[in-house]
C-alpha cells in the first residue's frame, strides 16, 4: 500500500480495479482546511486522463510493474510493433495508449515495455533521445544561448523550444521526461 502523499509522476497504482498512472502530482494547501494532493492521472487501459484531488492519507495498492528490453520496429495503422531482444517475440501496443511516448520513438530504437502481470501496459523511454531537427526558423546571426529560443519540429513530430542558433538538420539531445532541449548531440 502507498499513501497519496507518496505518489509521484510516473508511478502506477490500482484504484477500484483500474490501473492508474500518475502524470503529475502536487501538494495544495487551501486557505482553510487540510492539505490535499492535486493529481493528473491516466487510466492505463483506456487512456483517459483526468484531474482529481486526494487526501494525503488515502492509501492505494501500488502496482507491480515489470519491464523487458525491446526494439521498436514500426507502426502500422493504429498499432506499434516491438520485438523482444532475447526471444524475438513481437508485442503489439495500440498507439493511443502510448501517444506521448511515440513522439520520441524512432524505428530500431531500444526501449523497455512495461507489464502488469502478463498485460502489456506501456513503454518506458530512456531519459534522453537524439532526434534530428526537421524544421525550424533560420538561425539568427549573433544569437546567444540566453535568447528566448524558437520552436523546432523534430523528425518524429515533437515540437521543442530550442536556442536561436539551432538549424534544421542538426541532431539534438532531448529530455524525454520533460520534452525539452538539452544540447546538440555529438
Pair 107, 132 in one domain: no
For 3, counting Cβ atoms within 10 Å of its Cβ (0-12 exposed, 13-18 middle, 19+ buried), the class is middle
Task: Name 49's Cβ contacts closer than 8 Å, sequence gap at least 6.
Answer: 23, 40, 41, 42, 43
Please state the pTM of the whole predicted model.
0.72
Domain boundary (124, 143, 164) is at 124
DSSP letter (8 states) at residue 177: T
C-alpha to C-alpha distance for 122 and 130, rounded to whole angstroms? 21
Q: What CATH number is attached to the domain comprising 11?
A: 2.30.30.30
The answer to whether the beta carbons of residues 59 and 3 sit under 8 Å apart is: yes
| Overall domain count for the chain | 3
Q: Please list the pLDDT of the chain residue by residue as tens digits (186 residues).
A: 888 778 887 788 888 888 888 888 888 787 777 888 888 888 877 777 888 888 888 888 888 888 899 999 998 888 889 998 889 888 888 887 788 888 898 888 999 988 888 888 888 888 888 889 888 887 666 555 556 788 888 888 889 888 888 888 888 898 888 888 888 887
Pair 105, 147 in one domain: no
Enclosing domain of residue 106: 65-124
Domain boundary (62, 77, 104) is at 62
Pair 48, 7 in one domain: yes
Pair 10, 48 in one domain: yes
Amino acid at each position: 500500500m502507498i499513501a497519496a502523499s507518496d505518489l509521484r509522476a510516473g508511478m502506477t497504482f490500482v484504484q477500484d480495479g483500474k490501473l492508474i498512472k500518475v502524470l503529475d502530482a502536487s501538494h495544495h494547501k487551501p486557505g482553510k482546511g487540510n492539505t490535499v494532493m492535486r493529481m493528473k492521472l491516466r487510466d492505463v487501459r483506456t487512456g483517459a486522463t483526468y484531474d482529481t484531488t486526494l487526501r494525503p492519507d488515502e492509501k492505494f495498492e501500488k502496482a507491480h510493474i515489470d519491464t523487458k528490453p525491446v526494439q521498436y520496429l514500426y507502426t502500422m495503422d493504429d498499432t506499434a510493433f516491438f520485438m523482444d531482444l532475447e526471444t524475438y517475440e513481437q508485442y503489439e501496443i495500440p498507439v493511443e495508449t502510448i501517444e506521448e511516448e511515440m513522439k520520441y520513438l524512432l524505428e530500431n530504437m531500444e526501449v523497455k515495455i512495461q507489464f502488469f502481470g502478463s498485460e502489456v501496459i506501456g513503454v518506458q523511454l530512456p531519459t534522453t533521445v537524439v532526434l534530428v531537427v526537421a524544421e525550424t526558423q533560420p538561425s539568427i546571426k549573433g544569437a546567444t544561448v540566453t535568447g528566448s529560443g524558437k520552436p523546432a519540429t523534430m523528425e518524429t513530430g515533437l515540437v521543442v523550444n530550442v536556442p536561436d542558433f539551432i538549424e534544421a538538420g542538426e541532431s539534438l539531445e532531448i529530455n524525454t521526461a520533460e520534452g525539452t532541449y538539452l544540447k546538440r548531440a555529438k
